[in-house]
Amino acid sequence: TDFPNTIVSGHDHCLVIPHLGASTEESEDNCAVMAVLEVRNYLENGNIHNSVNYPDCDLGICQNPRLAIYHKNITNMISQFTNVIGKDGHNIVELSNQSRGEIAYTMMDVEKPFSAQLVDQLSQIEGVFRVRVVKNEGGR
């Protein structure tokens, strides 16, 4: 049961658990707050949590220029990204890559702001669906 009382909580054949459904006002409010916080975290930082279509991926609070790349989960994608970024004179400060089935999501923080040309070059790589500029200011 998820509504414990003195009768069932001491019974050997009863398992008392927290309420797991989203049918109460409190749980609906909590779910709404959680959804807003997750969308905000995605928009501000590029982080993904609890998505149906994409894997969880988190680089924390965005403090450096950050790129997010949605791409096929195939061999050699990361090396192509890092090669393009390196040739453009950027050092990758932090990188996270996660996949779910045939889809992958990569986030990279670089030391300094990057050009629109770099974003275009990454977008041209076969297997890339989209390159998103999360932040393009600041840096170490």
Q: Is residue 102 part of a domain?
A: yes
Query: Residue 94's domain is classified under what CATH number?
Result: 3.30.70.260
Closest CA to 84 of 43, 42, 117: 117
Q: How confident is the model at residue 139 (pLDDT cuts 50, 70, 90)?
A: low
Over residues 34-83, the pLDDT tens digits come to: 888 899 999 999 999 988 889 999 999 999 999 999 999 999 999 999 99
* pLDDT(114) > 70: yes
Q: What domain range includes position 11?
A: 6-45
Q: What's the pLDDT score for residue 12?
A: 72
Q: What's the pLDDT score for residue 1?
A: 45
Q: What's the pLDDT score for residue 111?
A: 96
* pLDDT(18) > 80: no
Q: Taking the model in full, what pTM does it have?
A: 0.79
Average pLDDT over residues 125-135: 97
Q: Is residue 57 part of a domain?
A: no
Q: Is residue 97 part of a domain?
A: yes
First to last CA, the chain: 53
Please give the tally of structural domains in the chain.
Answer: 2
